[in-house]
Amino acid sequence: MTPAQNAMLDALAATLGPRGIVTDPADIAPWETDWRRRFHGHAPAMLAPASTREVAAVVAAAAAHRVPLVPQGGNSSMVGGATPPADGSALILSLRRMNAIRSVDAAAGLAVAEAGVILSDLHDAALAVERRFPLTLGAKGNATVGGLVSTNAGGTQVLRFGSMRGLVAGLEVVLADGSIHDGLAALKKDNRGYDLTQLLIGAEGTLGVVTAATLRLVPVPASRTTAWAAAADPQAALALLRRFQSATEALESFEILPRESLAAVLAHVPGLRAPLDGEHGWHLLIEHTDDAGAALMERLLAQALDDGLIDDATIAASDAQAATFWRIRESISDSERALGPASQHDLSVPVDAMPRFMIEAAAACEARFPGTHASGFGHLGDGNIHFHVRSAPGTDPARWYAEDVPVVTRFVDDLVIAAGGSIAAEHGIGQMKRDELERLSSPARLTALHAVKAAMDPLGILNPGKLVALAPKPPAQ
Amino acid sequence: MTPAQNAMLDALAATLGPRGIVTDPADIAPWETDWRRRFHGHAPAMLAPASTREVAAVVAAAAAHRVPLVPQGGNSSMVGGATPPADGSALILSLRRMNAIRSVDAAAGLAVAEAGVILSDLHDAALAVERRFPLTLGAKGNATVGGLVSTNAGGTQVLRFGSMRGLVAGLEVVLADGSIHDGLAALKKDNRGYDLTQLLIGAEGTLGVVTAATLRLVPVPASRTTAWAAAADPQAALALLRRFQSATEALESFEILPRESLAAVLAHVPGLRAPLDGEHGWHLLIEHTDDAGAALMERLLAQALDDGLIDDATIAASDAQAATFWRIRESISDSERALGPASQHDLSVPVDAMPRFMIEAAAACEARFPGTHASGFGHLGDGNIHFHVRSAPGTDPARWYAEDVPVVTRFVDDLVIAAGGSIAAEHGIGQMKRDELERLSSPARLTALHAVKAAMDPLGILNPGKLVALAPKPPAQ
C-alpha cells in the first residue's frame, strides 16, 4: 500500500464503514484475475461503496490523493477491462453492492437499475411485470448493468433491439472529480449539448463511473419460433437473412456456425445431437417473434429449400427443442477451447461483406500459419463473428500464447481493417486490444480519443491503461 | 475582412476556386440571418467547398489563421445555431455544394448522403428503391443532412424510429485540426473506444464539421392509417397512447393540440375545416402503419369511446383526408404567430409527466404574466411539446421581445427543470438557449461540456458562441 493509498483509505473510513473497504488479500484475490484467467493484476484494497454518494466520495478521494481506480462489476470482461494493473498502483472500485433495481415501470417501458444489478436479475424483474429487457449474453449470471453499459455489450438479440447503446435511456455517472451527473430522466428528446450518456456508454470506465442506468423494456412476445437450417455457404445464409428481414421486423437472431463448430460441440457436450441429419457445410440458428409464428418460418424456409438457398431445415417443435438449439450455439466457445489453444478474435465487418470475409480470412490464416485451423461463428445478422485460429497440433501452449498469438492477432486485425471492419465488435478494447487500437486507428480518431480522455479524466485516475494509453499523474505529495 | 481572414482566403484560393469563395455581400446576405429573422450576423466571406477534402483544407486553414467558422446547411435552425456572430469575426462554411447521395443500398437498408443533401431529396432517393428514411419535419425542403445530424433533429415520426441519433449508422467528419475522421462504415457492432459518431450528433458544429452520414432506411409500409380524435384532457390522451403502444409496435405519430391551436389554424388557413363536429378541449392526431390497418384503429378508438377516454373520433377515409389532418397540425406555428408575438419554447418532460405539465405550466404562466395566453401542442408520444406564451393584447412587440421574453423564458425553463425535463428537446441550444443552459445545468454537466469542447476544438474555431460559452483564441499574428 502506498502512502497515498493509505491516506485515501483513512479519509474514506468513516464514510464507507468496514463493509466498504476490503483489505484482506483473500477477499480481493478473486477480483484480481479476469474470469478467463488471462490477465493477472494486484490491488492492495478494494472499495465497495453502497450508494451513489459513497461512489462520489471514493472518486473525490481518489482525485485528491491521485490514486487510480479500476471500476469493476461482474468481472466478466473478455479483454481484461476490469483487471487492475500488476504493480498495485490502483485500487478496485467494486460496484457490486449497488444492486438495487430502483424502479420498474411497465407502462412507460423503463427500469432504473444500479450498476451492480446482475443481468439475469434484471431479466427477472422485467418479466415480473410482463416486460422484457431484450439483451442477453452468455455471462448473464455474472455481468452487471454497469459493465454492460460501459462495454456497450451486445449478444444474441442485437439484430432487432440493438446493443446497450440503443437500450440505455439515461445514466447516473460519477465524473472524475467526484461530481455526480444525474442523467437518469428518460427524456425521449433532449438536446442539451453533447450527449454525456452516449459518451459514457462503451467508455469502459475510463471517463466516469456509471452508478445507475435507466433501461428500456419491451413487451414480452406472444410467441417465439426457432429454427435450425443448413446452407452450403455463408453467401446463401446472407441471402436468407435478407429474405427474413424483408418479411418481418421481428427477426431476433440469425446465427451462423461452420460444420467444425458443430462437430466440436457434439464431441464435447454429452447428450447433444445434431439438429439435422447428414453432413452440411454451414448451420444457421434463426429465431423470430413475429405473430405469424411457425407459419412464417415454414413459408420462408420452404421457399429457400425450393430455391436451393438451404439444404435442409427444421423448426423447433417445443421450447425444450429450441433450448437445445441454443445450447449448441452457446457451447461453441468452451467446446473449441477443448480442442487446443487458439487465438480468439471478436470482430465485425459490414454485414454484406461478412460471407466473403469468413471464407477468405480463414484461408489466409491457414496459408500464413501452416498447421493452424481457422474458422468463425456468431452473429451473421450483426456482421459480427468470433473468429478462432487454433494452433497447429503439438504446439507448446506457452509459446503459442507468448509468441504466436500476437503475430496472428496483428495478421487478423489487418484483414479486418482491410475489409472496413472493427477489431472490437462487442467485447471492447480493455488492455488486450489497446496497442492494436493505437496501431490501427487513423490519426484523427486517435487524437480525438486522447483529447476526450484527457478532458474528462485529467488526472488519469479512471481505469488506467485501459482503452487509451494515457499514464496517470504521479501521486500528490 | 481582418488580415487573418484575408490571409486565409488567399491560402485557399487555389484549392477552392472561384465558386468555393463567396465575397459578394449580396450573395452572403441571405445566410447572415436565420429563417425566422430573429438573429442577425455578419460574415465577410462564405466558403463553399465541394468535397470532403476541400472542407478539410478550409478547416486546416481556419486553424492555421485562427479564423472561426460557422458551419451552415439549410439555415433552418430554430435557435440561431447557424447564424454568424455580428462582429464579422467568423466566416460561414456552407456545406450546400456537398449534395451528393453517394449510395443507396436497399438490401442493407443504408444510404450515404453528403452534408448538403436536402431532407426531401433524401426521402425521394429512398423511395426510388422502395425504402423510407423515417424522419420528417416541417423544414424538409430546406433542412440538410449535416444540420439534421448536428442538431439531432426530431420531428413527427420519432415515436417509432427515434431522432437522428437512432438513424445515423456512421459519420464522416472533419475535426478541428483539419483531419478527416472516416466513420462511414455501417458496422452494427463497433466498440473501438469512445463513439465519435454519437459525440458529433447534436454537437451543433462545435466539435467538428459533419461532411457525410450513413443513414438507416426502413421498408415502405404497406398501409398507413390516420385518425383524429377528441379528448377531454391530456391525461386521457396519455392513457390512449399507452393502449396504442400495447397494441402495436407500428405507432408512428401521436400528436396533441388544444382547442385554441385548432381554432387558430381554422381562422388563419382558408379552406380548412375541423375534422370533428362540436367543441372539444383537446385534439389528437394518431397514425400507425400496422398491417392490421383501419381495423386496429377502429377497434382501439371504439373501445376508448366506450370507456369514455375520448369524446369522438374519425379515421381518414383517404390519403387526401389524412393529408388535411396533417396540414392542420403543421399550420399551428404559423397560425399562432398571426395571433401576436409569443415566447416559444421547445421542451420535453418524461412522457408520463406531460399531461400534468401541460395544464399546470399554462396556468402558472397565465397567473404570473397577467393577460398572456399559454398553451402547448406537439409530440405527446415523445414527451415533447412546443409551448407558446402569447403576449397580452396591446403589448408592444419590440418591448415584448426585448424585455418580456427573457423573463418568460426563465420562468418556463424553471418549470421544465422542476418537472425533470429538458429546455432543449428537438431544436438544440444554438445561441438562443446558451445562457439558459449555463444557468440551469449542474456543475457536473457544465464542467463536462466545457472540457469536451476545449478538448475537441482547442482553438475555439468551430461555431463560436454556440452551445457552450468558450471564447475563440485571438488570431495568430
The ipTM estimated for the assembled molecules is 0.94
| DSSP β-bridge partners for residue A210 | A173
Contact B108 A351 (CB under 8 A): yes
What percent of chain A lies above the pLDDT cut of 90? 95
Contact B445 A202 (CB under 8 A): no
Q: Is B261 an 8 Å CB contact of chain A?
A: no
Q: Is residue A138 pLDDT above 90, yes or no? A: no
**Highest CATH level, class, for A3-97:** alpha beta
Q: Is residue B477 pLDDT above 60, yes or no? A: no
In tens, the pLDDT along A418-462 reads: 999 999 999 999 999 999 999 999 999 999 999 999 999 999 999
**For chain B, what is the mean pLDDT?**
95
Q: Is residue A477 pLDDT above 80, yes or no? A: no
Query: In the structure, what pLDDT confidence band is assigned to residue A95 with cuts at 50, 70 and 90?
Result: very high
Query: In the structure, what pLDDT confidence band is assigned to residue A156 with cuts at 50, 70 and 90?
Result: confident
Contact B191 A428 (CB under 8 A): yes
Contact A191 B445 (CB under 8 A): no
Asked whether B217 and B132 are in contact (CB, 8 A), the reply is: yes
Q: Can you say whether the dihedral through the CA atoms of B241, B243, B244, B245 is positive or negative?
A: positive
Let me know the angle formed at the C-alpha of B328 by B324 and B330, rounded to the nearest 5 degrees: 110
For an interface test with A, the pick among B131, B188, B216, B429 (most A C-beta atoms closer than 10 Å) comes out as B188
List CB contacts of B80: < 8 A, sequence separation 6 or more.
B34, B38, B39, B430, B431, B432, B466
Q: How many A×B Cβ pairs under 8 Å?
A: 228
Q: What residue spans define the domains of chain B?
A: 3-97, 101-219, 225-333
Please, which residues 140-159 of chain B have a Cβ atom closer than 8 Å to chain A? Answer: 151-152, 154, 158
Asked whether A265 and A332 are in contact (CB, 8 A), the reply is: yes
Residue B475 has a pLDDT of: 58
Average the pLDDT over A263-283 and give the result: 96
According to DSSP, the β-strands at B384-390 and B373-379 are: antiparallel
Residue B474 has a pLDDT of: 61
Spatial separation of the C-alpha atoms in residues A213 and A89, rounded to whole Å: 29
**Cβ contacts of B240 on chain A, cutoff 8 Å:** none
In tens, the pLDDT along A342-388 reads: 999 999 999 999 999 999 999 999 999 999 999 999 999 999 999 99
**Cβ contacts of B184 on chain A, cutoff 8 Å:** none
Q: What is the DSSP letter of B422?
A: B
Q: Can you say whether the dihedral through the CA atoms of B12, B15, B16, B22 is positive or negative?
A: positive
Contact B195 A202 (CB under 8 A): yes
Q: What is the DSSP letter of B402?
A: I
**Option in A181, A207, A351 nearest B188 (CB):** A351
> Mind giving me the DSSP string for B188-246?
SS--SSS-HHHHHTTSTTSSEEEEEEEEE-EEPPS--EEEEEEESSHHHHHHHHHHHHH
**Cβ contacts of A154 on chain B, cutoff 8 Å:** 189
In tens, the pLDDT along B131-146 reads: 999 999 989 999 999 9
Burial code of B374-403, b = ≥16 C-beta within 10 A, e = fewer? bbbbbbbbbbbbbbbbbbeeebeeeebbee
Average the pLDDT over B226-255 and give the result: 96
Asked whether B121 and B101 are in contact (CB, 8 A), the reply is: yes
Contact A191 B451 (CB under 8 A): no
- Of B370, B367, B368, B366, give the one whose Cα is nearest residue B388: B366
**Cβ contacts of A199 on chain B, cutoff 8 Å:** 194-195, 198-199, 452
Q: Is A122 in a helix, a strand, or coil? A: helix
Chain A residue with minimal CA distance to B184? A420
Q: Can you say whether the dihedral through the CA atoms of A338, A341, A347, A350 is positive or negative?
A: negative
Average the pLDDT over B80-87 and give the result: 96
Residue with grid cell 446472407, as numbered in its chain? A238
Q: Is residue B454 pLDDT above 90, yes or no? A: yes
For an interface test with A, the pick among B52, B194, B422, B434 (most A C-beta atoms closer than 10 Å) comes out as B194
Q: Is B384 in a helix, a strand, or coil? A: strand
Residue A263 has a pLDDT of: 97
Residue B156 has a pLDDT of: 82
Q: Let me know if B220 is exposed, middle or buried by CB neighbors in 10 A (0-12, 13-18, 19+).
A: middle
Chain B residue with minimal CA distance to A187? B350
Task: Work out the minimum CA distance from B85 to partner chain A, whole angstroms.
Answer: 19
In tens, the pLDDT along B430-445 reads: 999 999 999 999 999 9
Query: In the structure, what pLDDT confidence band is assigned to residue A476 with cuts at 50, 70 and 90?
Result: low
Q: Is A222 an 8 Å CB contact of chain B?
A: no
Average the pLDDT over A255-269 and give the result: 97
What is A225-333's CATH number? 3.30.70.2190
- E strands present in B259-326: 282-288, 312-315
**Option in B192, B195, B422 nearest A190 (CB):** B422
Please, which residues 437-476 of chain B have a Cβ atom closer than 8 Å to chain A? Answer: 437, 441-445, 447-449, 451-456, 458, 467-468
- Of A47, A30, A40, give the one whose Cα is nearest residue A86: A40
Spatial separation of the C-alpha atoms in residues A460 and A153, rounded to whole Å: 24
Average the pLDDT over B201-208 and give the result: 98
Q: Is residue A182 pLDDT above 90, yes or no? A: yes
**For chain A, what is the mean pLDDT?**
95
Spatial separation of the C-alpha atoms in residues A416 and A12, rounded to whole Å: 46
Please, which residues 200-219 of chain B have a Cβ atom closer than 8 Å to chain A? Answer: 201-203, 207, 219
- E strands present in B302-434: 312-315, 342-348, 373-379, 384-390
According to DSSP, the β-strands at A180-183 and A208-216 are: unpaired
Task: Work out the minimum CA distance from B392 to partner chain A, whole angstroms.
Answer: 30
Q: Is B380 an 8 Å CB contact of chain A?
A: no
Spatial separation of the C-alpha atoms in residues B134 and B123, rounded to whole Å: 8
**Cβ contacts of A165 on chain B, cutoff 8 Å:** 195, 198
Contact A420 B185 (CB under 8 A): yes
Please, which residues 336-375 of chain B have a Cβ atom closer than 8 Å to chain A? Answer: 348-352
What percent of chain B lies above the pLDDT cut of 90? 95
Amino acid at A262: L
Q: Is residue B471 pLDDT above 70, yes or no? A: no
Task: Work out the minimum CA distance from B469 to partner chain A, whole angstroms.
Answer: 12
**Cβ contacts of B161 on chain A, cutoff 8 Å:** none
Contact B107 A242 (CB under 8 A): yes
Q: Is residue A475 pLDDT above 90, yes or no? A: no
| DSSP β-bridge partners for residue B285 | B228, B255
Spatial separation of the C-alpha atoms in residues A401 and A424, rounded to whole Å: 19
Residue B26 neighbours by CB distance under 10 Å: 7
Q: Is residue B104 pLDDT above 50, yes or no? A: yes
Chain A residue with minimal CA distance to B427? A191
**Cβ contacts of B349 on chain A, cutoff 8 Å:** 187
**Cβ contacts of B384 on chain A, cutoff 8 Å:** 188-189
The end-to-end CA distance of chain B, in Å, is: 15
Asked whether B193 and A467 are in contact (CB, 8 A), the reply is: yes
Query: In the structure, what pLDDT confidence band is assigned to residue A48 with cuts at 50, 70 and 90?
Result: very high
Task: Work out the minimum CA distance from B202 to partner chain A, whole angstroms.
Answer: 6
Spatial separation of the C-alpha atoms in residues A434 and A448, rounded to whole Å: 15
Q: Edge-to-edge, what's the strand order for the sheet holding A69-72? A: A21-22, A46-47, A91-94, A69-72
- Does CATH place domain A101-219 in 3.30.465.10? yes
